[in-house]
Structure 1
Amino acid sequence: MNIKTRDMILISMFAALTAIGAFIKIPTPIVPFTLQFLFCAYAGIFLGSKHGLYSQVLYVGIGLIGIPIFANGGGPMYILQPTFGYLIGFIICAYIIGKLTENIEKVTAIRILGPVLLGLFFVYLCGVSYLYMIVNLYLGKAMSVKGAIAAGFIPYITSDLILSVLVALTAVAVVPVLKKSGLLNRV
């Protein structure tokens, strides 16, 4: 694997931004509302699939080694937290958004919004599934699929859809400038 120093810095920067997004939170009963998805989506758009994925893997890896950069702490036991599935979803999300946006020649809000929404779908698919599994299998509490959706999806989808539109609208302004300056290695 041959990664340039510039790319390492950008990967690290987006891992740090995602960590910062974890601390900008509104506490709720099970899953706190954070800005992690915002930076995860930007990582996919600005870094592309491979480096966007690396940034989120780095973020999750740093948290799992014990540095408390997740919304509710850190450490290897965090994989037993009901919210860990969202972190897995961030990794997939950054890759999907990057893969679907890295070859877009003319950047429009609609062309960016579709991949961002697909990435968000995978965040919720992983997050709600993991929430259901951990609550039922590890915590030993009874939670229905409907209950998992009510706890891990319904309260957050509106704000995440707003963030998705924000990402798409700002990408329309930022991506062409980055391309023109040569800072975005895309088509």
Structure 2
Amino acid sequence: MRIKVRDMILVSLFAALTAIGAFIRIPTPIVPFTLQFLFCAYAGTLLGSRLGLISQLLYVGIGIAGVPIFTKGGGISYIFQPTFGYLIGFILCAYVIGKLTENLKEITFIKYFVIVVTGLMIVYGIGVPYLYLIVNYYLGKAMTFRHAIYAGFALYIIPDLLLSALVAFTSVKVIPILKKLGYKKEK
């Protein structure tokens, strides 16, 4: 697997943007609202499945290695944070968004919006159960799955849908330009 220098720079850029998104946050109980998903979704739409995946793997890997780039720090013990499941979700999210957009023949807002929301549901689909499991079985606190859905999904779905619309809208405008300039391959 060979990566060009340009691709390494883009992967590093999106890993850094995701880290910056962790620090642009609104504190809320248990799960803070951040802009990490925004940059994760952009990684998928703009870099594609392979490079989007690598960018999010790099972000999570650097954080697990000990660099405090997650919302509450970093290090290997971060896997026991209730929000770590969302980070796992970002990795799959970027890959799935990239894979689904790579196969599009026609670029429309609706198609991109549905694809980005699909990626978002992957983040929630991993993040909420992980939150529930860590709170109940590692932290030893009682939390119903219904409360986990409220604390890790219901409070954030509207802002995340707005971010999804932003990603879809800007991607529809930017991707044709990137293709025309030869930075993104035509399918």
Alignment TM-score, normalising by the size of structure 2? 0.98
Q: Percent identity?
A: 67
List aligned pairs for 1:168-179, cutoff 5 A: 168-179=168-179
Deviations 1:57-115 (A, max 9, x none): 00000000110101111111000000000000000100000000012232110111111
Q: How does 1:125-164 map to 2 (within 5 A)?
A: 125-164=125-164
> Gapped runs of 5+ residues in structure 2?
none
**TM-superposed deviation, 1:184:** 1.2
Question: Which residue of 1 is the match for residue 181 of structure 2?
Answer: 181
Q: Distance in 2 between matches of 1:13 and 1:186?
A: 23
Q: State the match for 2:75 in structure 1.
A: 75
**Mapped partners of 1:53, 1:149: distance in 2:** 26
Secondary structure of the equivalent of 2:142? coil
Alignment length, in residue pairs?
Answer: 187
Matched residue, 2:111: 111
For 1:65, the equivalent position in structure 2 comes to 65
Confirm or deny: 8 A CA contact 1:135 1:141 kept in the other structure.
Answer: yes
Show the counterpart of 1:10.
Answer: 10
Contact (CA 8 Å) 1:78, 1:84: kept in 2 or not?
A: yes
Report if aligned partners of 1:93, 1:123 keep a CA contact under 8 Å in 2.
yes
Give the structure 1 partner of residue 41 of structure 2: 41
1:23 to 2:23 alignment: yes
- Please, which runs of 5 or more residues in structure 1 have no aligned partner? none
Cα contact 1:97–1:119 (8 A) shared by 2 = yes
Q: Which amino acid aligns with 2:176?
A: P
Q: Deviations over 1:37-58 (max 9, x none)?
A: 0000000001111110000000
Give the partner amino acid of 2:33. Answer: F
Is the 8 Å Cα contact of residues 82 and 131 (structure 1) preserved in structure 2? yes
